[in-house]
Structure 1
Amino acid sequence: MELTVLGQDEAAAAVADSGCSTGSCGSTNDQMSDLPDAIREKVQNHPCYSEEAHHYFARMHVAVAPACNIQCHYCNRKYDCSNESRPGVVSELLTPEQAIKKTKAVAANIPQMTVLGIAGPGDPLANPERTFETFRGLSEEAPDIKLCVSTNGLALPESVEELSKHNIDHVTITINCVDPKIGAQIYPWIYWNNRRIRGEKGAAILIEQQQKGLEMLVERGILVKVNSVMIPGVNDEHLKEVSRIVKSKGAFLHNVMPLIAEEEHGTFYGVMGQRGPEPEELQDLQDDCAGDMNMMRHCRQCRADAVGLLGEDRGEEFTLDKIEAMEIDYGAAMKTRAVVHAGIMEELDEKQAKRERLAAASVPDAQGLVDTRPVLMAVATSGGGLINQHFGHATEFLVYEASPNGVRFIGHRKVDQYCIGNDTCGEKESALSGSIRSLHGCEAVLCSKIGFEPWSQLEEAGIVPNGEHAMEPIEEAVLAVYREMAESGALEEPVPAARAQQVSA
């Protein structure tokens, strides 16, 4: 693939011009319609760079990079933990040859897969031979797949030239700070020039390398997404400055993620009791950063061997023993994939055209929504941008905000599946209570079906269950429910008492 080269100033200006006046998340199709063609083409079918695309297109990661050149207080890389979904976790470490074969097998069996990323379980650029051997092979054998890399940035400047030689036009850099004093609280050490460097000195080197690498990538027209882990009391307020700086240097998208710090994961932060952010804290910080930067809110903090749509993991279908038995005609698979991708893009174009027609036909005054307050709603979906999942089958809920400005995606809330068979030791009751607690702040939950027991408990918690919009597009259904709430007078009242108590709890 020939990269379209944008100068740093030009790329930064293009990113700035793509901002959304309502501060909505990610690169939605409304935002994408205003992007330069060179950028729009790169992100329209990338599930990690486009909020719209993640409902339709799949991604996969291959775990070929075991070594890491820094230590993070939030990281503990473990193997054979297939029940965990967090960065750095893998079940099988692959050779480049195995990774290439697995990628072709997944792409042949999941034709909506568009992106192959290397994200660990260590740092891909701390394992350059294994990483670039994988990229070279895939560029030759599967040229229709986008290639991505995610890095901490320490070895990035020395790798930019090699990255630009391959079919790679997306790079993610994890940047948690631009202040060495804060960095020293996150990174106990880095491994640099064959020695371990600790504290602020090590953090300063890492920051310098990250910023240099970001500038070099932008100069070559490679899109950059910046990941940041929100650590309450450490870098939460500081991330606003991070967002401002990386945008000024041409980063396309900022992904502020919540710290994962459960004690059982064995991380330093987990053992020391460092808490993660509450959903409201994360949303507030994302909104504050959105004034300077397009924000990604649909991240699932994927495993280093994730396979499938965001929010699902089909890795067990493609273990090494299973792909060895597969017969793959990748030439035929590429033709099938092209047809599938074209069909999805046609559907997305139709949805965008419908949005534009609806926007032209109605304004907030006509909807009677001008003076109404925003409302959060949770949605159960199994993909495709539709309300198509039973409440009890959901393992996560997508959260949307409806307001006079329209509908915007806020984030996702993971839950334990409620309908899991016989109720032993109160497991079903516990899962249901946990699901309802996870929806605090929401005033309605939209799903395809819902049972009597969860319906009653949701109402007691001040959350209105709604199963009347099954198989409808999510944003249209959320807006319809919001209008119904406005017409009933519910939005003229303050936040319901039950919900206010729930939030304060």
Structure 2
Amino acid sequence: MNHKLDFNRHPCFHADVKGRFGRIHLPVARRCNIRCNYCNRKYNCVNESRPGVSSAILSPLQAVHYLEKVLEREPRITVAGIAGPGDPFADAPVTLETMRLVRERFPHMLICVASNGLCLPPYLDHLADIGVSHVTVTVNAVDPEIGRCICSWVRDGRVLYRGIEAAGLLLARQEESIRGLKARGIVVKANTIVIPGINNGHVPAVASRMAELGVDLLNCMPMYPNRGTPFEDIPEPAEEEMRAIRRTAGEHLPQMLHCTRCRADAVGLLDSDRSAQFRSCLGECSAFPPLETHRPHVAVATHEGLLVNQHLGEAATFQIWSRTGEDFALVDERAAPQPGLGIKRWFELAEILDDCRAVLVSGIGDTPREVLTSAGILPVEMNGFIEMGLELVYGGGDLSRLKAGRRECGKGSACGVDGSGCM
């Protein structure tokens, strides 16, 4: 990355500019890899302002299109962040692709990300290469005995950990993340959720350890009681207690005192949030995704080359189509990976179709949909002529017009070929 970034234009890290420069949160992180006892991620709630809440989920391409639309109406946005509604590194390919596209399209934009740190370490070099300037890591305890009371479980790959083992692993990854970020010159903020009776007396120890690791800023956030969580009956800490905690923590680290507990789809100035005004724009962008121009082709699942009439899991081959002037041309035919590989099959298919912006199918299971979407390939379910689908895909039209009646699939018993489902 060759562009000089002005770090002083980040309103969350510099309170003196919060009335001049704004931020946008791009809600692309669908999944989370830990379960905190205070968190309830209600994606579609429009009435709450807190982390973990978003009114829509975007793909990387949709996110950049949304950012373009917002900047047309709110040019004071200087920071594009990814802060949920799940954890950005539980959906690392989606997060990295979003940040890459933002950097490519808006080279002077500051990019930040907020994470629990569990799955962040493998991507430290990626963040530096993209030019991520600011990272926030939520650290609620530096003693696993306290951490085990806050986090019910953590999922590392396919393994689920609970109790002291979960808390110890999470803390180790958080410290590894922070050390790695600072070694790469990235500004780091730690968020600590203050939970009465759990960690409110432990915050000074957190602040001290964060200072040792080189953290730049600490944000002590009062817990917001959320219905349906184990901590729903714990009251929000009083403002007087929060002031005392921040004073003590401030002996170790500078304090963020202007946090607004932003939603995962927040947009605007910190003092003048415009999330509600842009909610319809966010919804439109999530429904009608733009497509990548640097992926010239579209893959098609078809029996005879005229109609889109094969389920993704049924297709042994995919026709590859491209636009040539005002017409469309069949340019290739590619073999699909063999069934029986589980999720690996869909990662292999994503590699085979890596120059395709979309794949036209009559049906698709949830797992391959997620894998292909994460790779930047838009699955389009439809029934009808191939050319009709190509016209809307290349023309950026309303893809909902192509929507096929949903075929039962994906659970292993309804595949039209051999009963193996999307495996």
| Paired position in structure 1 for 2:245 | 285
Greater per-residue strand proportion: 2
Residue of structure 1 in register with 2:13 after alignment: 49
Counterparts of residues 379-458 of structure 1 (less than 5 Å): none
Kept after mapping to 1: 8 A contact 2:19/2:271:
no
TM-score of the superposition, structure 2-length normalised?
A: 0.65
Q: Residue in 1 aligned with 2:230?
A: 268
C-alpha distance 274-324 of structure 1, shift in aligned 2 (>3 A) = closer
Q: Is the 1:3–1:169 contact (alpha carbons within 8 Å) kept by the matching residues of 2? A: no
User: 1:118 matched to which residue of 2?
Assistant: 82
> Which residue number in structure 2 is paired with residue 304 of structure 1?
264
Equivalent residue number for residue 138 of structure 2: 174
Matched to 1:144, the amino acid is H
Paired AA for residue 314 in structure 1: R
Q: Distance in 1 between matches of 2:84 and 2:285?
A: 21
Output the amino acid matched with 2:193: V
Please give the alpha-carbon distance, in whole angstroms, between the structure 1 residues aligned to 2:154 and 2:284.
38
CA contact (8 A) 2:189 2:219 kept: yes
How far apart are 1:55 and its partner, in Å? Answer: 1.9
SS at match of 1:168: coil
CA distance in 2, matches of 1:302, 1:320: 16
Contact residue 105 and residue 323 of structure 1 kept, 8 A: no
TM-score for the superposition, normalised by structure 1: 0.55
Letter of the 2:85 partner, please give it. Answer: P
137, 155, 159: which one pairs with 1:191?
Answer: 155
Report if aligned partners of 2:3, 2:108 keep a CA contact under 8 Å in 1: no
Q: Find 1:214's aligned residue among 178, 182, 187.
A: 178
Displacement after TM superposition at 1:107 (Å): 1.9
Describe the SS at the equivalent of 1:130.
Answer: helix
Q: Structure 2: how far apart are the matches of 1:183 and 1:101?
A: 39
* Structure 2 counterpart of 1:159: 123
Q: Using the alignment, how far apart are the partners of 1:118 and 1:325 within structure 2?
A: 20
User: Which of 73, 82, 85 is 2:37 aligned to?
Assistant: 73
Shift of 1:312: 3.6
Contact 1:3 1:221 in 2 (8 A): no
Distance 1:92 1:192 in 2: 26
Query: What is the match of residue 407 of structure 2?
Result: none
Q: CA deviation at 1:45?
A: 1.2
Q: Is the 8 A contact 1:188 1:199 kept in 2?
A: yes
Give the equivalent residue in structure 1 for 2:52.
88
Paired AA for residue 157 in structure 1: P
Distance 1:233 1:3 in 2: 47
Cα distance, 1:311 vs. partner? 3.9
The answer on whether the counterparts of 1:66 and 1:93 sit within 8 Å (CA) in structure 2 is yes
Change (3 A) 1:321 1:248: closer
Asked whether the equivalents of residues 104 and 142 of structure 1 are also in contact (C-alpha less than 8 Å), the reply is no
Q: Deviation at 1:111?
A: 1.1
More helix per residue = 1
Partner of 2:384 in structure 1? none
SS at match of 1:244: helix
Q: 1:150 to 1:3 in 2, by over 3 A?
A: farther
Partner AA of 1:296 in structure 2: M
8 Å contact kept, 1:190–1:202: yes
Q: Flag the 1:324–1:251 CA change in 2: closer, same or farther, 3 A.
A: closer
Select the residue among 210, 222, 237 that pairs with 1:246: 210
Paired residues for 1:350-389 under 5 Å: none
Given that 2:116 and 2:137 are in contact with CA atoms closer than 8 Å, whether structure 1 keeps it comes out as: yes
- Please report how far the alpha carbon of residue 193 of structure 1 lies from its aligned counterpart in structure 2 after TM superposition: 3.4
Q: What runs of 5+ residues in structure 1 fail to find an aligned partner?
A: 5-37, 327-505
* Change beyond 3 A, Cα 1:172–1:325: closer
1:57 Cα deviation after fit: 1.1
Q: Is the 2:134–2:187 Cα contact (8 Å) retained in structure 1?
A: yes
Residue 234 (1) aligns with residue 194 (2): no
| 1:116 partner letter | A
SS in 1 for 2:44: coil
Deviations 1:228-252 (A, max 9, x none): 0001111111110111111111110
Distance 1:219 1:147 in 2: 18
Task: Give the superposition deviation at 1:325.
Answer: 12
Distance 1:109 1:247, change over 3 A: same
